[in-house]
Structures are given as structure tokens and as C-alpha cells.
């Protein structure tokens, strides 16, 4: 076993639990007002079967087309220099994420403004919303990297004065073995947490209550809706399976942007100068 695999195995074992598994709602028809209250208490709600198999297939096709189209206007983030990528598999598996695609891709734009998704988000927030971020997050087989524990609103473009809602959509089956979402229920109630540049822009490992970790496996077309201050992360993918997903963020229409100074004060170590 390589040193890198040993290290990522250690991270998975140390930072994630795989024995505490959340059961999503079977369909959007089960999403009653009682689950709005549950969302406010726990910081998340998961619902299966929101997207149809056709919509999932069209989304996968769109993601793959943009990966292989050298002239795409969609932004791609690679883990290796493109000059080193000689085969289609090497290119695909080196793409960590796609973003800013809604303007250019009709299929993915349709998902971002999907009536069922917007209906759930607006019920959770109690008002109309604006789409403020669009991404496809990819975790390839045999080494798709961890996304350490973090709060999405600690990323500066999501620092609104009201909570955003993250919408994470499984395109492949997202299971315990290939990097499904993990959350810390009720962690949003603690407010903003300082983040540090360690393996990523993340909450310090020692500040994560791993004993409360809850895994949220989803079938293709299932969706996790989560509060912008909820602690969440995804472990390394050591399986032979892809784990492709879409992620959107929505802010209340009445929300205003947080100033750079406010962001620095509450999401960094500006006040304490503490190190991770």
C-alpha cells in the first residue's frame, strides 16, 4: 500500500464515522411542514427521487461533454496540469470540479432552476431565493480526494447576512464507500467557525465533533438540502466507482452581502490569532 493511500485511509478512519447512517425521505411527497422544523433544528434534510433517471442522465452527459470539450466556456478545476493528461480517463479523473456552467449549459441550468428544488428551498427559507453558486463536484475512483469538514458560508462568495441553503445532488450512487456526504447535525447552531488552510480551507480537525458524524448516502437523483453553516465533508474515495454530483447554493432574495471585514472577523482567526 502506498504512503498516500495509507495517509488517506488514516484520514477516513480518524475524521469520519461509517456506522451512523441517515435515512432520507423516500420522495418529495413525504416533505411535509414537520420536516421544515426538523431542518431548522438539525441543519439538513435529505430527499430521494427528486430528479428522474432521465434528468440524472442528461446531467451526467452535460458534465462529461464539458469535461471533454476543449472549447467549453464552463470553468474546470484540474488536479494536474492539462499537458500531462494524455487519455480521456486521465482528463476526466483529473477534474475536481466544474463551475459557472448555468449561463452556458441548458441541461444543467434546468436543474439549477428545477421547480421541485426551488419549491423545497423556498419553503425552508420562507421566501423567494436567488441562485448564487453552481458547481459539479467530482470524486473519481481509486483516489478521489477528501473534502475536509467545513461550512460553505466560510467561502467568501457565500458570505451573505442571511443563511444560504446548499443543494447537493447525487448523479451516481453516493455511498459509504465512494464519498457520500457526511454532516454534523445541529452544528449550524454554533454560528460561524474559523477556518484554516490545512488540507483545504477547513475547520481544524480537532474542532470537529467526529463522534456526532452522520453519513447521508443517496441514490442518483437524491438531494441533500443543508444550512450554509452546517459542518459537512466527504471522505476519500478508495472504491472503483465514480461519485459525481451537482451542488447549488441559494440565498434569500432579501439577503445582503457581508462585508470583507465582517467575513474576516468571523470566519478566520483574526480575533484570536490561534493556529490550527
pLDDT single digits (tens) 111-132: 999 999 999 999 999 999 999 9
State which residues form the domain around 56. Answer: 3-267
16 neighbors 233 (Cβ within 8 angstroms): yes
Residue 215 lies in a domain: yes
Residue 69 forms part of a structural domain: yes
From the list 184, 47, 65, the residue with the least C-alpha distance to 117 is 47
CA nearest neighbour of 155 among 118, 209, 98, 203: 203
Counted domains in the chain: 1
Q: Which of 162, 44, 64, 47 is nearest to 107 (CA)?
A: 64
Q: What is the CATH number of the domain that holds 71?
A: 2.60.120.620
Indicate whether 121 belongs to any domain: yes
Computed on alpha carbons and rounded to an integer, the radius of gyration of the chain in Å comes to: 18
pLDDT tens across 185-241, in order? 999 999 999 999 999 999 999 999 999 999 999 999 999 999 999 999 999 999 999
Mean pLDDT of 32-58: 98
User: Domain for residue 275, yes or no?
Assistant: no
Bridge partners of 275, per DSSP, are none
Q: Which three cell numbers stand for residue 200?
A: 483545504
Compute, in degrees rounded to 10, the torsion defined by CA atoms 69, 158, 262, 266.
Answer: -100
pLDDT at 148 over 80: yes
Mean pLDDT, the chain, whole residue set: 96
274, part of any domain: no
In a domain, 158, yes or no: yes
Q: Are 251 and 78 in contact (CB under 8 A)?
A: no
242 occurs within a structural domain: yes
Q: What is the mean pLDDT of residues 93-112?
A: 98
Residue 247 lies in a domain: yes
Give the pLDDT of residue 6.
60
Amino acid at each position: 500500500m502506498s504512503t498516500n493511500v495509507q495517509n488517506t485511509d488514516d484520514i477516513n478512519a480518524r475524521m469520519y464515522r461509517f456506522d451512523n447512517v441517515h435515512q432520507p425521505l423516500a420522495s418529495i411527497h413525504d416533505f411535509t411542514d414537520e420536516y421544515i422544523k426538523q431542518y431548522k433544528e438539525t441543519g439538513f434534510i435529505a430527499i430521494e427521487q427528486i430528479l428522474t433517471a432521465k434528468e440524472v442522465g442528461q446531467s451526467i452527459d452535460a458534465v462529461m461533454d464539458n469535461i471533454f470539450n476543449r472549447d467549453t466556456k464552463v470553468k474546470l478545476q484540474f488536479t494536474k496540469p492539462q499537458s500531462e493528461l494524455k487519455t480521456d480517463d486521465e482528463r476526466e479523473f483529473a477534474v475536481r470540479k466544474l463551475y459557472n456552467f448555468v449561463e452556458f449549459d441548458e441541461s444543467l441550468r434546468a436543474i439549477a432552476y428545477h421547480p421541485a428544488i426551488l419549491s423545497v428551498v423556498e419553503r425552508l427559507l420562507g421566501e423567494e431565493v436567488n441562485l448564487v453558486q453552481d458547481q459539479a463536484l467530482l470524486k473519481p475512483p481509486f483516489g478521489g480526494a477528501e473534502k475536509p469538514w467545513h461550512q460553505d458560508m466560510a467561502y467568501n462568495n457565500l458570505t451573505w447576512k442571511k443563511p444560504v441553503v446548499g443543494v447537493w445532488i447525487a448523479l451516481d450512487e453516493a455511498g459509504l464507500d465512494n464519498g457520500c456526504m457526511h454532516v454534523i447535525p445541529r452544528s449550524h447552531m454554533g454560528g460561524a467557525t474559523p477556518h484554516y488552510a490545512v488540507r483545504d480551507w477547513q475547520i481544524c480537525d480537532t474542532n470537529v465533533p467526529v463522534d456526532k458524524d452522520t453519513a447521508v448516502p443517496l441514490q442518483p437523483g437524491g438531494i441533500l438540502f443543508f444550512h450554509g453553516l452546517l459542518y459537512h465533508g466527504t471522505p476519500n474515495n478508495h472504491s472503483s466507482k465514480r461519485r459525481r454530483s451537482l451542488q447549488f447554493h441559494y440565498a434569500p432574495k432579501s439577503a445582503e452581502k457581508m462585508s470583507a471585514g465582517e467575513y474576516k472577523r468571523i470566519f478566520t482567526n483574526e480575533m484570536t490569532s490561534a493556529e490550527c
